[in-house]
Each structure stands twice: as structure tokens, then as C-alpha cells.
């Protein structure tokens, strides 16, 4: 039986702290967590203190967005009602699901096209003439 999903901060026994949308599921003799789009939130600091946050995917080498965690691997969890954190999470998920980049091809309208050897010759001529 899967419970309703909720936003949650999870502290894993490995020391990792992740934020995600989570649903709990009872599997015979154990509780499993269905974790959707888990992220890691890091603080960006300067001399005056925290100036922002950096959001990264929990696992960087996969395109999966749903993971199953055994409740035995979780040290603690805290349901979040922090609207700012939830909004940052949702913005990250929306931007991660957008089609990537501008797939335009290189053309002469973008500027000078050349190769390394041509540019090297031009730069050597300029250097020698000064």
C-alpha cells in the first residue's frame, strides 16, 4: 500500500542529505520509500554569509527520476512545508525536464569560421609585426 506523497528532507545513514517528493510503501515486513527527483541543496557563501543556494541532482550519472530506498538506510526524515524550498525544488524539476539548449548549427553569420592552423598563422603575423 502506497501512502500519499509529500515533500521531505531525508538524512541517510551514509551522511547524505537529500530533498525530494516521497511516498512510503509497506512491503511485507519492511517500509520502502519511493523517492522522486531527489536533489542536494548546497549553500553558496561569501564573506557576509549565505547568499544563495545551489541545487544538484542526488545522482549525477543517471537519467532516472524515481528511486526506492529502504527505510533502514534512513537516519531521519522531516516532512517539509517550507514554501520557498518546495518552490526551488519545483523550479529545478521544471528546468531539468525542459529540452536542452539551442541545437543550431554553426554558420558564417555567427562570426569568423576557421581552424587552429589558420588562426595560429594570423596571430603569428600580428605578433611579428608589432
Answer whether residue 74 is part of any domain. Answer: yes
* Exposure on the CB side of residue 21, measured as CA atoms within 13 A: 13
Per-residue pLDDT of the chain (130 residues; tens, 9 = 90+): 566 899 999 999 999 999 999 999 888 888 899 999 999 998 888 888 877 888 999 998 988 999 999 999 999 999 999 898 999 999 989 888 776 666 666 666 666 666 788 778 888 888 888 7
Adjacent-strand bridge partners of 94? none
Look up cell 524539476; give the residue: 93
Q: Residue 119 corresponds to which cell in the numbers above?
A: 588562426
95 within domain boundaries: yes
Q: The C-alpha cell of 90 is what?
A: 519545483
The CATH number linked to 21 is: 2.30.30.100
Question: Does any domain span residue 108?
Answer: no
Boundaries of domain holding 73? 6-101
Over residues 53-68, the pLDDT tens digits come to 889 999 989 889 999 9
Whether 129 is in a domain gets the answer no
Number of domains into which the chain is organized: 1
- Rounded to two decimals, the pTM is 0.68
| Residue tagged 515533500 (cell numbers) | 7
Does residue 124 sit within a domain?
no
125 in any annotated domain? no
In a domain, 1, yes or no: no
Amino acid at each position: 500500500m502506497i501512502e500519499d506523497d509529500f515533500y521531505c528532507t531525508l538524512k541517510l545513514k551514509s551522511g547524505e542529505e537529500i530533498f525530494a517528493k516521497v511516498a512510503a510503501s509497506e512491503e511485507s515486513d519492511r517500509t520502502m520509500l519511493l523517492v522522486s527527483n531527489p536533489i542536494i541543496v548546497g549553500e553558496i557563501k561569501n564573506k557576509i554569509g549565505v547568499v544563495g543556494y545551489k541545487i544538484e541532482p542526488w545522482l549525477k550519472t543517471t537519467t532516472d527520476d524515481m528511486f526506492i530506498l529502504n527505510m533502514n538506510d534512513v537516519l531521519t526524515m522531516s516532512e517539509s512545508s517550507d514554501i520557498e524550498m518546495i518552490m526551488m525544488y519545483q523550479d529545478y524539476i521544471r528546468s531539468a525536464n525542459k529540452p536542452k539548449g539551442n541545437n543550431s548549427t554553426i554558420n558564417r553569420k555567427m562570426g569568423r569560421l576557421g581552424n587552429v592552423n589558420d588562426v595560429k598563422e594570423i596571430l603569428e603575423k600580428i605578433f611579428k609585426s608589432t
